[in-house]
Every structure is written in C-alpha cells, then in structure tokens.
Amino acid sequence: MSPTSTLVFVHGFWHGSWCWSEVVPHVVAARRLAAAVDMAGHGLYARRPQWLTKQPYNPEAISTEVSPVADVSLDHAAELLTSQIKRIGGGEPVTVVAHSAAGPVLTRVAQRTPELVAHAASACPRTKSRK
C-alpha cells in the first residue's frame, strides 16, 4: 500500500458506509487520509421497499414487489464509485478497499480508469468450513 494515497473504503451489498465506522478513525489516527463511501442503491442512496412502511401491512407484497436495487447495474455502481474516487482523491490515485459485492464494482472502476486507483484490496472475511 502506498503510504501517501488516500484510502477509500467501500461496503458490500445491503450495507452502507457506516460499516467502516470503527475502521476509519483508526486509520485517520495513524495519520492516513481515509473516507468511506456508499455504493449505488445502498446507504444514503438506498430506497426502502414500499411494503416495509405501507399501511395496512400486506404480506403478499414482500414476494411481489421489485427489489429497490433491481435497477442498479454494475456500470451504474462503477460510475458512482468513479465519481466518488475523483472527488475524494482530487484526481490523484487512491487506494480502495472493497468488501464483498464492492469487489466487482472496484474491478470495473480499475478497468475503466486505472489512473485513479493506486491499489485495490479486498476485505472479505475468511470463513471456516464446518467438519
């Protein structure tokens, strides 16, 4: 990892930038610039399903309503992440840490705009297999 590039943390599906709230302060305390962003359709960009709050409650709506992220494509998510990286890095390359479903989004960004990504890292936890 470059000791000078800004770190950008990207969460996985069904989460938000809040996932990194315990990490970013430690990174900043170590004198490294860092920011966590929301993926398209998630976090601050999330849309809630109508069945969640519509009254009276309709249990059938859960199985029939289209997902609020159904229209979020890989390209759409990559465009948003690219704009966030440009804004955070000021046009300079950044180091991006992607968790889970953010990995393919980061890969698309790095393919299209490699000059913006100094380093790309995956933060998927390892799982132990059960015996």
In a domain, 55, yes or no: yes
3-state helix, strand and coil shares in percent for the chain, rounded to the nearest 5: 40, 15, 45
Look at the alpha carbons of 22, 27, 28, 30 in this order and tell me if their dihedral is positive or negative.
Answer: positive
Q: Total structural domains in the chain?
A: 1
120 DSSP β-pair partners: 96
- HSE (side-chain half, CA atoms, 13 Å) at 111: 10
Q: What is the pLDDT averaged over residues 72-90?
A: 97
pLDDT band at 126 (very low <50, low <70, confident <90, very high): low
What gap in Å lies between CA 25 and CA 86, rounded to an integer? 22
- Cα 118 to chain centroid, rounded: 17
Domain of 54, CATH number, reads: 3.40.50.1820
pTM: 0.85
In a domain, 33, yes or no: yes
Q: Comparing 125 with 51, which gets the higher pLDDT?
A: 51
